[in-house]
Amino acid sequence: MKPAAGTFRVAVKDHVMVAHSLRGAVFGPAQRLHGATYEVITEYATPQLDASGIVLDIGLCHQLLGEVLAPLRFQNLDDLPAFAGANTTTEFLAQWVHAQLAARLRGRFTGGLRVTLEESRVAWASFEGPVA
């Protein structure tokens, strides 16, 4: 039986608490220093399962996400050299997490990765692209 065309996905999530301020009048009161707790959801996608019958090992996904988020936990992003001059919007942070994970996955996974940062139950932003 030929498998149906489609995409397999596996997802893991974690959260991170940070402080930051945003530049630009569009951000109103968020221009001042404030805290944010992001639910970080990572989704790995591929059209074919690997030899073990999985998209990617869930344990590895959790481990790598924890490594990426560790330097951000309970930090003021405005003070981190990695973000000097950056406006650390939710969209920017989703892309940054994606880049960090993609660098760790090169040679281990060739599919797609979507990173979503939920700032509340009604607002979130994502970045999606290939790992390779």
Alpha helix stretches (DSSP H) within 1-132: 58-69, 90-105
Task: Give 132's pLDDT tier (boundaries 50, 70, 90).
Answer: confident
In the chain, the percentage of residues whose pLDDT exceeds 70 is 97
- For CA atoms 58, 124, 17, 94, give the dihedral sign: positive
Please write the tens of the pLDDT for every residue from 106-128.
999 999 999 999 999 999 999 99
- The pLDDT assigned to 131 comes to 95
- The answer to whether the beta carbons of residues 76 and 19 sit under 8 Å apart is yes
